[in-house]
Amino acid sequence: MQEPLPPILVTNDDGIAAPGLQVLAQALAAVGKVTIIAPDREQSASSHALTLHRPLRVNRQRDGVYSVDGTPTDCINLGILNLLAHRPRLVVSGINRGVNLGDDITYSGTVAAAFEGTLLGVPSFAISQQVNGEDPDFFVAARFAVLLARWILQVPLPAGTLLNVNVPQRKPHGTRLTRQGRRTYHQGVVERTDPSGRQYYWLGGIPPEWDESPGSDFAAIREGFVSLTPLHLDLTHYPLLQDLQESGLNLHLED
């Protein structure tokens, strides 16, 4: 008797209608039973936000496809804890339209969805693709997602860890295991004046620049390689913790 396909939960932050999401879900159908639970509109840069100040609405579009009027984190939380009949074996977030590199992963709703899956004990990865045109081809990234999904289902990730994948626009030369890079921040706010004379602002209006250090995720993408970066949930800086303990730091508030 053939074993049932493992359940896979797929989401994104570009919204339920995003082409990258559809290509990803279709590709992963060869690996498992895919359920899509994604935001009903674009939620880019939503980071790890949960919607707590209002109820969430879920629209069942068809069998195995749901849209949510919330964030990518909401989608994963609802899916694992409520909507799915069986706990997923894997969470995949993407394919994001544009890369999520370096410090930008802290803003990314795509990566945050994979963080939420990891928090809830499900192996997870986020996948994004470099885009320089209006009509990106997501099929290379989708093929890589299939290979990685099969590997993770066979070799589970350590608890509390996830993978952040970025794919170059052109056919990659190969894959590199990378560390999280660093973004060089300059003026990130564009100030303008509207026709009525009122000022308005665009955040992130200046194209980012990156530290081009070897071994970083940005360096891999720049050189045409898929970047595969392991991340973890524990934000503790253990060397500093040890230094503080050894320094005898002991601060007391006065009565």
Q: According to the model, what pLDDT value does residue 224 have?
A: 96
Q: How confident is the model at residue 1 (pLDDT cuts 50, 70, 90)?
A: low
3-state secondary structure of 252: coil
CA neighbor of 72 nearest in space, from 102, 57, 91, 50: 50
Q: According to the model, what pLDDT value does residue 124 have?
A: 98
What CATH fold (topology level) applies to the domain 7-183+210-247?
Stationary-phase Survival Protein Sure Homolog; Chain: A, (3.40.1210)
List Cα–Cα distances, 105 to 130, 172, 180, 212, 223, in angstroms: 14, 21, 9, 17, 20
The mean pLDDT value of the chain amounts to: 91
Q: According to the model, what pLDDT value does residue 252 have?
A: 74
126 has pLDDT over 60: yes
3 has pLDDT over 80: no
- Averaged over 91-119, what is the pLDDT? 95
DSSP string, 187-208: --EEEEE-TTS-EEEEET-SPP
Q: Which residues contact 180 (CB under 8 A, 6 or more apart)?
A: 101, 102, 103, 105, 164, 216, 217, 229, 231
19-56 residue pLDDT tens: 999 999 999 999 999 999 999 998 888 889 899 999 99
The pTM of the full predicted model, rounded to 2 decimals, is 0.91
159-202 residue pLDDT tens: 999 999 999 998 999 999 999 998 776 656 778 888 888 887 77
12 has pLDDT over 70: yes
